A and B are shown apart, each in its own frame.
Chain A
Amino acid sequence: MSRTPLDTVEHATATPDVELPWAELGLKKDEYERVVEILGRRPTGAELAMYSVMWSEHCSYKSSKVHLRQFGEKAPQSDAMLVGIGENAGVVDVGQGYAVTFKVESHNHPSYVEPYQGAATGVGGIVRDIIAMGARPVAVVDPLRFGAADHPDTKRVLPGVVAGIGGYGNCLGLPNIGGEVVFDACYQGNPLVNAGAIGVMRHEDIHLAKASGAGNKVILYGARTGGDGIGGASILASETFDDAKPSKRPAVQVGDPFQEKLLIECTLEAFAEKLVVGIQDLGAAGLSCATSELASNGSGGMRVTLDDVPLRDSTLSPEEILMSESQERMCAVVEPEKVDRFLEICDKWDVIATVIGEVTDGDRLEIFWHGGKIVDVDPRTVAHDGPVYERPYARPDWQDALQADDANKLPRPGTSDELKDQVLKLVGSPNQASKQWITQQYDHFVQGNTVLAQPEDSGMIRVDEESGLGVAIATDGNGRYAKLDPYTGAQLALAEAYRNVATTGAKPLAVSDCLNFGSPEDPAVMWQFAEAVRGLADGCLQLGTPVTGGNVSLYNQTGEAAIHPTPVVAVLGVIDDVARRTPVAFQEDGQLLYLLGDTREEFGGSAWSQVIHDHLGGLPPKVDLERERLLGEILISASRDGMIDSAHDLSDGGLVQAVVESALLGGKGARLVVPDGLDAFTFLFSESAGRAVVAVPRSEEVRFNDMCGARGLPVTRIGVVDGDAVEVQGEFTLPLTDLREAHEETIPGLLA
């Protein structure tokens, strides 16, 4: 993009008729006209670059904003919330002076184009968000969704994504403690690679992304800026894939986890010495985003000399430098007298750091190149005043037919042998099978604080070695439920993550979400999105768990075919003493198994309907959030008071899936009795929400029953931990060896 003369503000004013490539940069005509209106002239090339990336769907949330407001408007009162939506990540008070920041983000599109680097830089980006809040990252989680398990392209995408997450996260020294792996043909051309991270800090260490104090220096540190990822946000994440267009690989960034590890350590050291006034990581939209957000969130303006940015490629144009999404870079605002010490710390860690500008008195963001002023804008217009769309939305015309296609009417197993056969098929199906082949490629142990990691119901990390204070996190989502009813589907995702946290003994505190949907230009998709957001906001209000932040990923669509609407919900919880945590695995023969909650005939969207009948129809399970809250309270009390030795939440696959997992993990079988009023099939496969299975030592039986009775939670004794088989009395006996083979050999068989 060499142009003579340099396209300065002055030049732009003098040459109003020059045509700029706004369409190629992803801007719509009316959006470009709005830029011209804001500036009162045509933008320079550099300004156009900034507006185009910052006003992209990915950065501006232009289609989703009007709906996302509900998370603020309906936010429950919560004493725990320290920093809410709008910052790099939300921050929650977990007690004893500790604060925890967490967030889930998507890196879907890059991971399809280039699985390894796409997934790796997804981890890198979310981790920098956590550091930017002032916290030490302590764990990551990865909710993943791929196309059909046996599709040839899944064998390209999945191993690359998993290796990328491992290659990056393992090298950063972050334990990977949770997440999900789901297969469904709807994700074939649009895998969902979501990444979550948790960080811990003391209350007084919270940092925000703002540039204040005229004269303060703006320091860019970390990797040099290169040509990778240029236009990533606007071109990749904000458009539908189309086979006819050229490969988008050059727009995917390349990660260097070693550099990021140094960035973590040197940033934390600078924080510890209180050298940083404001900080922002460079992710999507790179320097355009960091400078405009820092400046617009602060009290003054900012002046930046782009010539001072260290480059990997000296031929880059100023527009490219502003748009580059080179990884492992951060931008700090530092008082002049502290700059030397800041640079010294960077030098200690061999991190390149350069003063590229300063905070000014005015309210303009001015950027210079070769002595000419190439950007002169009000930073708020770039960062916050992007277009807002009231996209039309409408309930799709096929929704009624889908819901009328009732899964409860599907043929059920007629004999005990058929029932047994379907159990084996279920626990060995790709979605229900053990994901150990995948998760063993992630480090679970590093940092030495991992109390629970997948396949536990939630990951749990010790925060304080003395007191045993800990935090738990679970991520859940079920696109099949959400397709049947997006409002309920979003609430079911919330309910499941909430339940998973409570099952391990932690009290749910707050929510982050990653909303993965198709094209917002399709009214049917927009309806799914609106319904899901409404459901999630209503649910969070009822459960008292505010949404602290998150991410929206739209355009997950190939041609006309959108993915299932897939809201992924992360719930963060706190536990006073991690010694009281409850694991999934059966611990001791003779312990009594209790089913908590009500079981109804609910098979819409169920794993059984998918595995046995390849069917999706009907209504998802009913949601009762008051029941979820009560169940959570019981699970937390029982764990704190030592009344249960193991617990497992019931979700996809129903009771039999949960019991088989607990049995295999503990190496102990179970004898089950079908309770009165239920048939064996419904007992084993129903996916009614608000349920868990717990193992109670005989000495605690009375106390546990009394507690449930007093608080009105239905509790049914369903059997006992015993032997080396899962037996359903009067129906079948399945030896653990057979179950293990079915459960553990599927994924390696497909992917290894």
Chain B
Amino acid sequence: MTARIGVVTFPGSLDDRDTQRAIRVAGAEPVALWHKDKDLKQVDAVVLCGGFSYGDYLRAGAIARFSPVMDTVIEQAKAGLPVLGICNGFQILTEAHLLPGGMLGNDHLHFICRDQKLRVENADTSWTSDYTAGQEIHIPLKNMDGRYVADRRTLDELEAEGRVAFRYLDVNPNGSLNDIAGITNAAGNVVGLMPHPEHAVESLIGTGRTDGLPFFTSILKKLVNA
């Protein structure tokens, strides 16, 4: 048996087909979800992928958060549905208050696309269990608004509770506080990060590394073993 993982397409989503491919590569079944449709088609998990939802002319993720599909995603995430937000998806998750903090424009004010070194800080979430804590990985990063910020108390809380899931290594590419690349909610079912694991699942494509694949195998194992 396998798991059915939904990928939401908003107008302006860019990595929806890539994310579906990554899910297939991991051995799960991707299911296309549409922003105007509240129905999640009984998927076992949801990925909010990268892109510029609704053009992101207001603030990244600010409009997508109010789309019909998000009503259901928010409700079910609170009830334990595994949700992964990648890049714009991470921005949407913070706008939806499923994850704390928010994203500002990169400190250097440019779009940046690079092969980014990360450290896995938390390997106990639904999406990271196939990593080991402390593992160093390379995942492509590409964004304009990737600077993670939160107030001091939230940061302290995230650090104290081990909810920083990924941290930038060597180079902090956007000025994120505490070098934060990705975080998880307390329950570990909702994870968001700026880098793009779906672009690192095939040895031939992109940077040629497969360091992103464990995101998708982690969730598959969790769902299949559940």
**A interface vs B, CB < 8 Å?**
163, 166-167, 170-173, 256-259, 261-262, 349-350, 439-451, 462, 465, 578-579, 752
Contact = CB atoms under 8 A, between A and B. Distances in A.
A138 to B, nearest CB: 11
Given A167-B111, A172-B14, A258-B52, 4 more contacts: A170-B142, A171-B55, A261-B52, A445-B140
B112 A450 contact: no
Nearest to A349: B11
A257 B21 CA distance: 25
A441 B173 CA distance: 12
Given A261-B12, A445-B140, A446-B15, A166 B205 contact: no
B55 A448 contact: no
A668 B52 CA distance: 38
Nearest to B206: A445
Interface in B1-25: 11-12, 14-15, 17-18, 21-22
Contact of B112 (A256, A440, A448): A440
B38 interface: no
Interface of B: 11-12, 14-15, 17-18, 21-22, 50-52, 54-57, 108, 110-114, 140, 142, 144, 196, 198-199, 202, 204-207
21 contacts: A163-B111, A171-B14, A256-B55, A257-B55, A258-B56, A261-B11, A261-B12, A262-B11, A350-B11, A439-B113, A442-B113, A443-B142, A444-B113, A445-B140, A445-B142, A445-B199, A446-B199, A448-B17, A451-B204, A451-B205, A465-B21
B68 to A, nearest CB: 13
Contacts of A261: 11-12, 14, 52
A170 B55 CA distance: 11
B19 to A, nearest CB: 9
Nearest to B55: A258
B193 to A, nearest CB: 15
A447 B199 CA distance: 8
A173 B110 contact: no
Nearest to B53: A258
Contacts of A166: 110-111
B11 A258 contact: yes
Contacts of B52: 171, 257-258, 261
B55 A441 contact: no
Contacts of B110: 163, 166, 441
A176 to B, nearest CB: 9
Nearest to B50: A446
B18 A448 contact: yes
Contacts of A579: 204
B12 A258 contact: yes
Contacts of A350: 11
Contacts of A170: 111, 142, 144
A445 B200 CA distance: 9
B106 to A, nearest CB: 10
Contacts of B142: 170, 443-446
A447 B206 CA distance: 10
Nearest to B34: A348
B21 A171 contact: no
Contacts of A259: 55
A449 B15 CA distance: 11
Nearest to A348: B36
A440 B22 CA distance: 23
Contacts of B202: 448
